[in-house]
């Protein structure tokens, strides 16, 4: 299937095979193409050897080629919606066009409601539409489920992790020309309005309520798109590993290495990737 991803300066077409939607072991994978060519790829982007050496692979196995996410990860400023959908599409089938159209629709609903002129009015309008009318809120029943880290499913279910709900708020705000950014707090992730005054923090997990007080000792700084993607992938690594899905754990761990990491983070991510890889050998 071909996907059209519109970036800041250009649109590209990328084709990628995807992982089987629910299985990861060599004897439990679904239909797929022949084993991807491993030559010429960095070690962290090569398909797992257990797939390429499994006798049943050519008939039944499927593994993402990573081109889609890797290309986006190398761009300077990919938008959060496109990058989050690229993460999801490496792990399962995703209707990206429908997800992007839903974000457009939500932004249109805010305009119809009445955006207002001041930051307070604008945040109230978004919270009214997304939180009250559309029902976006945190998933407190299955907090750790991988579905809560998939942007398209969060848009469908109106439930998700704090970071994915923040992506919805941020991307609706971006479509409206508002300076909403993600902010990583200890053990939490929220959105913030970075205007002329102090940042205004909102909690999408609680349907967009204001956070009246900044936690003591916490500096409010916006989180870059790449840093946000790293946190999403780390959540997926943990979620899949706790469910025993070693195949998708390895895919998510490998994808982190395509991001522009500092030296310390890269060492940590490489170690974690090797740890997961060892479980498959």
For the segment 19-41, what is each residue's pLDDT rounded down to a tens digit? 333 333 233 333 333 344 434 44
Judged on CB neighbours under 10 Å (0-12, 13-18, 19+), 71 is: middle
For the segment 177-193, what is each residue's pLDDT rounded down to a tens digit? 999 999 998 889 999 99
Residues ≥6 apart with Cβ < 8 Å to 223: 181, 182, 183, 184, 189, 231
Q: Is-contact 134 144, C-beta < 8 A?
A: no
Whole-number Å distance between alpha carbons of 21 and 4: 22
Would you tell me how many other CB atoms lie within 10 Å of the CB of residue 204?
29
Q: Percentage of the chain surpassing pLDDT 90?
A: 65
- pTM, 2 dp: 0.76
Strands 200-203 and 159-160: unpaired
In angstroms, what CA-CA distances link 175 with 87, 104, 220? 21, 7, 23
Q: Strand 180-185's sheet: what is its strand order?
A: 180-185, 188-193, 200-203, 209-210
What pLDDT, on a 0 to 100 scale, did the predictor assign at position 65?
37
For the segment 94-119, what is each residue's pLDDT rounded down to a tens digit? 999 999 999 999 999 999 999 999 99
Query: For the chain, which residues make up each domain, given as ranges?
Result: 78-281
Q: DSSP assignment of 167-235, as one string?
A: HHHHHHHHHTT--EEEEEETTEEEEEE-SSSS-EEEEGGGTTEE--SPPTT----PBPHHHHHHHHHHH
């Amino acid at each position: 299937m071909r996907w059209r991803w519109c970036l800041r300066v250009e649109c590209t077409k990328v084709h990628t095979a995807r992982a089987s939607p629910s299985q990861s072991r060599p004897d439990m994978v679904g239909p797929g193409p022949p084993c991807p060519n491993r030559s010429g790829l960095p070690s962290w982007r090569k398909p797992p050897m257990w797939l390429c050496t499994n006798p049943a692979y050519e008939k039944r196995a499927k593994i993402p080629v990573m081109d889609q996410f890797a290309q986006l990860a190398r761009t300077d400023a990919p938008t959060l919606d496109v990058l989050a959908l690229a993460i999801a599409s490496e792990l399962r089938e995703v209707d990206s066009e429908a997800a992007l159209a839903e974000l457009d629709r939500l932004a249109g609903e805010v305009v119809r409601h009445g955006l207002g002129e001041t930051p307070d009015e604008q945040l109230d309008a978004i919270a009214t539409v997304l939180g009250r009318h559309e029902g976006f809120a945190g998933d407190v029943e299955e907090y750790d489920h991988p579905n809560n880290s998939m942007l398209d499913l969060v848009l469908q279910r109106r439930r998700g992790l704090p970071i994915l709900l923040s992506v919805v708020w941020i991307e609706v705000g971006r479509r409206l020309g508002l300076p909403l950014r993600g902010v990583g707090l200890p053990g939490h992730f929220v959105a913030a309005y970075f205007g002329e005054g102090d940042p205004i923090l909102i909690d999408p997990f609680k349907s967009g309520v204001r956070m009246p007080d900044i936690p003591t000792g916490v500096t409010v700084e916006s989180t870059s798109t790449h840093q946000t993607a790293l946190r999403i992938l780390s959540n997926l690594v943990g979620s899949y590993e706790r469910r025993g899905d070693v195949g998708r754990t390895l895919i998510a761990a490998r994808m982190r290495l395509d991001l522009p990491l500092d030296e310390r983070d890269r060492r940590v991510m490489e170690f974690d990737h090797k740890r997961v890889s060892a479980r498959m050998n």
